[in-house]
Amino acid sequence: MTFLSGIKFGRKPKGANLSSPLEGKLQGHNETKSTVAEAVAEGRGPRAVRGKRRWIGYLTLGCALYLSFLVALIPAGWLAWGVIKFSKGAVGIEQPQGTLWRGRGKLIVFYPRATPRQLGQTKWRIKPLWLLAARLQLRLKITGTDIKLRGTFRIGPKTITAKNTTISVPAQLIGAFYSPVILFGPKGQIRLSTDSLVLDDSGLHGDAEINWQGAGSKLSPVQPLGDYRLNIKGTGKTASLKLATTRGVLELRGQGNWNVLGDGRIQFSGSIKSRGRKRELDSILQFFGKDRGGYRQLKLNTRLSLESILGKK
């Protein structure tokens, strides 16, 4: 044991830090056990923390499902209120049934204000996901005695889009929106169709076609007078108009321009003439001025601004 003779065993010198690595590990382990014990005592142990997180997740999921349930069951009356508000009282939905997202009701037009007109039974379907993009996509179908409408509409901030849309109304209904037409007592059916038509703050974009089928007038003994087609091509602030006759004894043709925004001025010029049975058609031809060698002049100068639809006025 001579090799141990030089080593002295005794107390550590004062001020000396001679803790061994083993002692440091034991001390850290004891501190960890103490911390965990305190956490468990206070309810903050690993299991307790995981449990609280699980309950918070369940609560959040439950609230989300309940909110989705409430949103899904929003009554159709909300849409009826929105239609009245958006149209400034010009259009309404009576006896709404179903929900905001899918429902039906009776569509009423208050134009003129004192004479409400029932257009027919309407059905709608709204896709909620479009609301995340601040847009409303509405699939609409109206079925009435003489009125038919089917199409998809997207409404956003100062933007209205019509996709794959057809509208069919009786010609006499035009008199409710443009009173001079009442004098002629128009007859027949007017059908508007478009694949895509966009109205925004830069104007009108896209093409539309209006067909007047079985056109007639109370001023003429000849019924019907013919079938007519009006093509509208929107290029922004203005739109071009082109009128043609597809068949009939009374020929109408012409072209013009429409200032869609601004003052909404429509300037149109063309001609009207008979293709036969001239004597019977004199009663209606005389309303278009003098005979200019087989035809009479057809002119239209009126206003129809679409800015109010976008909320600019």
Rounded-to-integer distance, Cα 28 and Cα 33, Å = 9
Print the domain residue range for 266. Answer: 158-310
Phi, then psi, of 195 in degrees rounded to 5: -85, -40
Evaluate whether residue 57 is within a structural domain: yes
Examine the pLDDT at 234 and tell me if it is beyond 50. Answer: yes
Q: Are residues 183 and 277 in the same domain?
A: yes
- Span 23-44, average pLDDT: 49
Please report which confidence band the pLDDT of residue 2 belongs to, taking 50, 70 and 90 as the band edges.
very low
Evaluate whether residue 9 is within a structural domain: no
Q: Are residues 67 and 163 in the same domain?
A: no
Evaluate whether residue 193 is within a structural domain: yes
Q: State the pLDDT at residue 149.
A: 95
- Span 218-246, average pLDDT: 94
Task: Return the minimum-mean-pLDDT range out of 5-9, 62-66, 143-147.
Answer: 5-9
Q: Are residues 172 and 286 in the same domain?
A: yes
- Span 254-261, average pLDDT: 93
Determine the residue type at 55: W
Percent of the chain's residues with pLDDT above 70: 76
Q: State the pLDDT at residue 12.
A: 47
Residue ranges with strand state E in 86-225 = 91-98, 102-110, 116-126, 136-143, 148-156, 159-170, 186-200, 203-217
Task: Return the minimum-mean-pLDDT range out of 4-8, 195-199, 208-212, 231-235.
Answer: 4-8
Whose tokens are 């690993």? That residue is: 46
Q: State the pLDDT at residue 236.
A: 92
Evaluate whether residue 61 is within a structural domain: yes
- Closest CA relative to residue 246, chosen from 268, 215, 219: 215
